[in-house]
Structure 1
Amino acid sequence: MIGLDETTRVKAYILFDGALFDAPRFTYEHDDQPQLEYLFLGTPHEAAMEVTPCLVKPSEGTRLWRAQPEWQDKAIILLSDQSLPLVAGHLRSLLSVQMPNGGFSYLRYYAPKQLTRLMSALNEQERARFSGPVREWLAFQPNGELSRFDSDGSQHFRKAAEEGWFLLTENHVAVLSQSARHEFVEKLGRFLDITDRARLEQLINEATALGFRTEKEVSRYSELAVVHGERIKLAEIRTILSDSQLSASARLKAVDNHLAYGVA
């Protein structure tokens, strides 16, 4: 297990993804006197408090660090010299960001994968502005390695009322999309036991051309295509796959039944 040294822990906050587990309960089970902020509290997202991200400053006698294997895929760590309320306010201002088209989008930067993608898309100056009082972000990768993203931690910090101030550019969106696709191709390859990236890209392109959008739908189509080979190209199968009257899941189920049992 990769852990943090004592000097680092003194400056560390843990930001739990409340959509993945009961973060407050877990915190109090492993820390008798934590400082905790519910990030959705007092924001337009307050109606979704049951899935709020939770910012925690562990106490001196915390047991949270010993329980790291239980939460490292559900949280990120951030280092700051500033107080909990100040850091929480800045993080609240980042719950949603402005998109290139002028709209706003929710940003789950507290998920390890999302943070890694985001930090990779920002240049040094953009990362500094985004980070505000945070001087380092840490995220555990699926293989257990710890990724660290530095900032000077001295930039102007924002308040919750300023949510939406940070702008994602077209370039940011493109880099984020490319990174997400790369991760999905790798995951699909493991699922199908295929190492040929060109073949995986072909399967994904076929699926999206047929209107399958989610990872689950694309994965299911790809699995059917691999298992049944050329039969996926049969005229009756293509008719089912292109039936606009059926939902994506219904089309996939009908194709599965037809290929397995000869019935639609």
Structure 2
Amino acid sequence: MNSPSQANYLLIDGALRPDALVSLYQRGEALEIEPLYLGTRWDELKDLGPILVSAQHASNLISEWQQSPIWQADTCLLFSRAPLRQVAEHWRRFIAPPDVLGGNGLLRFADPRVMHHWLSSYPSEQLSQVMGPVERMWINTPPHSWNPFDSPCLTSFSHSDLSEPRTIPLATLSEEQLTALEQAYHWQFKEQLYEWLNQRDPLTFTRLSSEQIERWLEYVLSSGNAWGLVSERALVIWAETCVDWGKDFATRPQGPYQDWLDLNPEHASLAPELRIEALDDYRQHRLGAKDTAHD
């Protein structure tokens, strides 16, 4: 059971593919379809949650997944001898699992990148507990957009022993899982940040190699965190400022940031998130004044 062509289930992330349910029903195939939010307190969001599909041999869905990067970006393949209802009930246990810190937020496990990081965090004996009736899973993680020549990474996870007893709390996330999920989020946020900065100015990264882009993004995010920024909005503003004024704008003794502090010394005592917002207003004003002068 080493080839994804032998899979008989698909797990689709409805948030990444919001038209999934409609398109599946329009195929006219004898598919069994089970939105995993169905019958839960998130029932009204079932279109945007994980969707489990039983695809038997008459369906072309599995072969389409193998040939389509679009399918691979929002769908995992599974093989299980168990019926759809049993597989669905197993995965529902992970919709909002408790964690060791007392949280129980929604777990986007149908997102292939999240699933990859999450499953990779378990030792083999616990992985079998997590996979339950699923004997093997295939996940194709695409490379970052700035590595277009890298091949997608096909990873498979397999069940070591379907008969072993469940000796651990199945759905509780330990610190290892929380770390893995944070890594998955970091991967995705870097991708979103890169895409946003390219939309803002297509020339932003034209002179950098793939390795240099990776280092730049990592440095910008880590320096923003070190400055005290946490929210996505604040980190995006920080990255934009790094593009416009240089990565060292906050530490240079002379430059626009220091000019702003000289003009507004009271801003130095603002909390980091408020300070970057205020700085953004100043930066936007300067950019607007520069554009007007060029006109």
TM range, smaller chain: 0.7 to 0.9
| Separation (CA, whole Å) in 1 of partners of 2:165 and 2:35 | 18
Specify the structure having the higher radius of gyration (Cα). 2
Partner of 2:120, secondary structure, is: helix
Alpha-carbon distance in 2 for matches of 1:258, 1:30: 52
**DSSP 3-state at the match of 2:128:** helix
% identical equivalent positions: 23
Q: What displacement does 1:72 show? A: 1.6
One of 23, 46, 50 as aligned partner of 2:20: 23
TM-fit CA distance, 1:225:
1.3
TM-score w.r.t. the length of structure 1 is: 0.78
Contact 1:18 1:52 in 2 (8 A): yes
Letter in 1 for 2:224: A
Report the counterpart of residue 111 of structure 2 in structure 1: 111
- Quote the offset at 1:184 in angstroms: 5.0
> 1:32 pairs with 29, 32, 35, which one?
29
Q: How does 1:83-102 map to 2 (within 5 A)?
A: 83-102=83-102
Return 5+ residue gaps in structure 1 as ranges.
159-163
- Partner of residue 148, structure 1: 156
- Which is further off, 200-209 or 230-239? 230-239
Equivalent of 1:174 in 179, 182, 186: 179
Query: Cα offset for 1:147?
Result: 1.4
Q: Which residue of 1 aligns with 2:61?
A: 64
Match in the other structure for 1:233: 257
Deviates most, 109-118 or 184-193: 184-193
Report which stretch shifted further, 233-242 or 210-219: 233-242
The amino acid across from 1:213 in the alignment is: V
What is the count of residue pairs matched by the alignment?
252
Cα 1:117–1:248 shift into 2, 3 Å:
farther
1:43 partnered with 2:40: yes
The alpha carbon displacement at 1:31 in A equals: 4.6
Q: What letter matches 2:46 in structure 1?
A: M
Q: Secondary structure at the match of 1:82?
A: coil
1:151 is matched by which residue type in structure 2? H
The amino acid across from 1:223 in the alignment is E
Q: Using the TM superposition, name which of 92-101 and 200-209 deviates more.
A: 200-209
Q: Structure 2 counterpart of 1:146, which letter?
A: L
- Is structure 2 residue 235 aligned with structure 1 residue 218? yes
| 2:199 is the counterpart of 1:208 | no
Residue 211 to residue 233, structure 1, CA distance change in 2 (3 Å): same
Q: Structure 2 vs 1, CA of residues 13 and 187 (structure 1 numbering), >3 Å: closer, same or farther?
A: same
Which amino acid counterpart does residue 79 of structure 1 have in structure 2? Answer: F
Match of 2:287 among 255, 260, 263: 260
The aligned counterpart of 1:13 is 9
Q: C-alpha distance in 2, partners of 1:103/1:207?
A: 26
Q: Deviations over 1:200-235 (max 9, x none)?
A: 444223323455334454244223213222435324
If the length of structure 2 is used for normalisation, what is the TM-score?
Answer: 0.71
Q: Distance in 1 between matches of 2:269 and 2:226?
A: 10
Give the deviation of 1:154 after TM superposition.
Answer: 1.4
Q: Alpha-carbon deviations, 1:55-102, whole Å to 9, x = none?
A: 101243323235432422111111111111110110111112111123
CA distance in structure 1 between the aligned counterparts of 2:281 and 2:34, rounded to whole angstroms: 48
Unmatched segments (≥5 aa) in structure 2 = 144-151, 198-203, 250-254, 291-295
Give the conservation status (yes or no) of the 8 Å contact 2:125–2:160: no
